[in-house]
Amino acid sequence: MVFSIPRQHLFPDPALAEPNGLLGVGGDLDPNRLILAYRQGIFPWYSHAPILWWSPNPRMVLHSADLHVRRSLAKRIRQARFTITLDRAFDTVIERCASRPRPGQTGTWITPQMMAAYRHLHALGYAHSCEAWQDGTLVGGLYGVAIGKVYSGESMFTDVPDASKVAFVHFVRQLHRWKYPLIDCQVYTEHLANFGAGEMPRHLYLEKLHDLQRLEGRQGPWTFDSDFDPLAPLTEEG
């Protein structure tokens, strides 16, 4: 779907962001504004009104071809304890992510308004989830936004050890197979660094984003390829 972008939705140049990455304050979570933000390497992150818009420097990214998988996690994948799906329970995944504060935080940044906005993006085919199930129960998952050939991860949760990690490996390998070379991880976390993600200067990230978001991505809802094998292309690491 193509949106016309009202002038009032325009953002400042990301190069004007403060050292901590804060670029703008205010506005709303209209789908037009959100899509434009992601196309420019900008995302909302706030816990109370007004809305805060960010474009951090450096940017944490993962090249899908460089995913690192430790032997112990590869073994867990082989055991097939989890059933992994795409876009089967987006609403529940975002609710569960909202109920899990990030380490060091007492509350969540995924407000009811944020949940409604990303559910809208999901209905439009831009936001996607990956789920881990165990004995028919949802025990882990993640969600984010895909624009062109870039996927921007937003949040993940797990109720069972390794559930979200297994889902993440499946997801990244499927994205690589679909020729999505770049996953935007936004800001540094040790968890994502362990998977091979690293920091990139903002200007380089924006250059890559400019090219990749112009390419045609897969239309939702997403499902795994029928012959998909998450272990076949993996490089295991000690």
CATH number, position 44: 3.30.70.3550
Check pLDDT > 90 for residue 176: yes
- Using 50, 70 and 90 to split pLDDT, how confident is the model at 171? very high
Q: How many residues does the chain have?
A: 238
- Three-state SS for 35? helix
Cis peptide before 58 (omega within 30 of 0): yes
Instruction: Kindly state the tokens that stand for 175.
Output: 């994205």
Residues 145 and 38 in one domain: no
Q: How many domains does the chain have?
A: 2
Distance CA 53, CA 4 (A): 21
Tell me the residue ranges of DSSP E strands in the chain. Answer: 22-25, 43-44, 52-54, 59-63, 69-70, 83-86, 127-134, 137-147, 150-158, 182-186, 198-200, 236-237
Average pLDDT on 153-182 reads 97
- Using 50, 70 and 90 to split pLDDT, how confident is the model at 151? very high
Residue 10: predicted pLDDT: 83
Residue 185 structural domain: 59-237
Residues 154 and 133 in one domain: yes
Last residue of one domain, picked from the residues 36, 54, 72: 54
Check pLDDT > 50 for residue 2: no
Show the CA angle centred on residue 143, arms to residues 113 and 136, nearest 5°.
Answer: 110
Residues 128 and 16 in one domain: no
- The two beta strands, 150-158 and 137-147, are antiparallel
CATH number at residue 216: 3.40.630.70
Residue 2 lies in a domain: no
Residues 111 and 130 in one domain: yes
Residue 93 lies in a domain: yes
Residues 34 and 135 in one domain: no
Residues 40 and 144 in one domain: no
CA dihedral 166, 168, 122, 104 (to 10 degrees): 100
* Amino acid, single-letter form, for residue 223: T
Residue 217 lies in a domain: yes
Question: Tokens 């590869």, residue?
Answer: 74
Residue 4: predicted pLDDT: 42
